[in-house]
Amino acid sequence: MNRTITITNDQGQKVVADIVSIVNISSLNNEYIIYTFNKKDEAGNIKDYISRIKQDGENFILEQIEDLEEWNKVKEMITNSVKEA
């Protein structure tokens, strides 16, 4: 079963992305989504994106992770999850 999310980009266009995973990091008191548009980079790897999820009424807002400390904790959690799998 494919799980997808429809995202409104900066140009106001609605684009569909595949959800890779949604994780809650209790130490940061936030939930994060890993998603992809299934496009490959120059090396042939499929690019994934990670955003913080915030709820606004019935809608969800994906926020860019700009704080370096937060980003390092998210990256560490994801790396550890992959190693355990």
User: In the prediction, which pLDDT does 74 show?
Assistant: 92
Question: Which helix or strand (DSSP H or E) is residue 9 part of?
Answer: none
With beta carbons less than 8 A apart as the criterion, state whether 50 and 30 touch: no
For the chain, what is the domain count? Answer: 1
pTM of the model: 0.84
Residue 16's domain comprises 4-84
User: In the prediction, which pLDDT does 2 show?
Assistant: 72
What is the distance, to the nearest Å, from the Cα of residue 15 to the centroid of all Cα atoms in its chain? 15
Confidence check: pLDDT of 40 > 80: yes
Q: What is residue 61's three-state secondary structure?
A: strand
Q: Name the nearest CA neighbour of 8 among 57, 62, 56.
A: 62
State phi, psi for 72 to the nearest 5 degrees.
Answer: -60, -40
